C-alpha cells in the first residue's frame, strides 16, 4: 500500500494497478488532507493506514479507479463498504452527497496526472 501525497502519473497508477487487481486500483481519499492511499486488498486496509498516519475517519472515502478509463467519468467509481455511514447521513456504499463527490474528484485529479 502507498500513501499518495504528491502527484503521480497515470502510467505510475497503471503500474500500481497491475500489482494487485490488474485494471483497477482501490483507493481511500482523505478530503481534508488532500491525500489518498492506494493498492490495499480492501478499502479498510487503506483506511487503517491513513488513520495510523493522522487522518480522521470523517474525512475518508473509498473509491475505485480504472486507469484505462482516465478522462471518462467512469474512471472513478464511488463504491466501498467504508462509505456506509448511516449515522453520518451516508446510507449506501456510494457517496450520496454530490458536493463530497466533487471534493473527492478534485483530490484525485490533483494527485493523478496524465503525464
Are 26 and 43 in contact, with CB atoms under 8 Å apart?
A: yes
Distance separating alpha carbons of residues 33 and 61, to the nearest angstrom: 12
Residue by residue, pLDDT tens for the chain (115 residues) are: 999 999 999 999 999 999 998 899 999 999 999 999 999 999 999 999 999 999 999 999 999 999 999 988 899 999 999 999 999 899 999 999 999 999 999 999 999 999 8
Predicted pLDDT at 79: 96
Q: Provide the grid cell at 70.
A: 482516465
Predicted pLDDT at 8: 97
Distance separating alpha carbons of residues 85 and 71, to the nearest angstrom: 29
Distance separating alpha carbons of residues 82 and 48, to the nearest angstrom: 11
Chain centroid, CA 51 distance in Å: 14
Are 64 and 77 in contact, with CB atoms under 8 Å apart?
A: yes
Q: Provide the grid cell at 2.
A: 502507498
Predicted pLDDT at 76: 97
Predicted pLDDT at 115: 82
Amino acid at each position: 500500500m502507498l500513501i499518495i501525497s504528491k502527484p503521480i502519473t497515470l502510467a505510475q497508477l497503471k503500474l500500481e494497478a497491475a500489482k494487485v487487481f490488474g485494471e483497477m486500483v482501490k483507493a481511500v481519499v482523505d478530503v481534508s488532507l488532500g491525500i489518498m492511499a492506494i493498492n490495499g486488498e480492501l478499502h479498510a486496509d487503506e483506511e487503517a493506514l491513513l488513520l495510523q498516519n493522522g487522518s480522521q475517519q470523517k474525512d475518508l472515502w473509498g473509491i475505485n479507479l480504472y486507469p484505462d478509463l482516465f478522462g471518462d467519468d467512469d474512471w472513478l467509481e464511488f463504491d466501498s463498504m467504508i462509505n456506509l455511514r448511516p449515522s453520518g447521513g451516508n446510507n449506501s456504499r456510494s457517496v450520496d452527497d454530490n458536493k463530497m463527490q466533487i471534493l473527492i474528484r478534485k483530490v484525485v485529479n490533483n494527485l493523478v496526472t496524465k503525464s
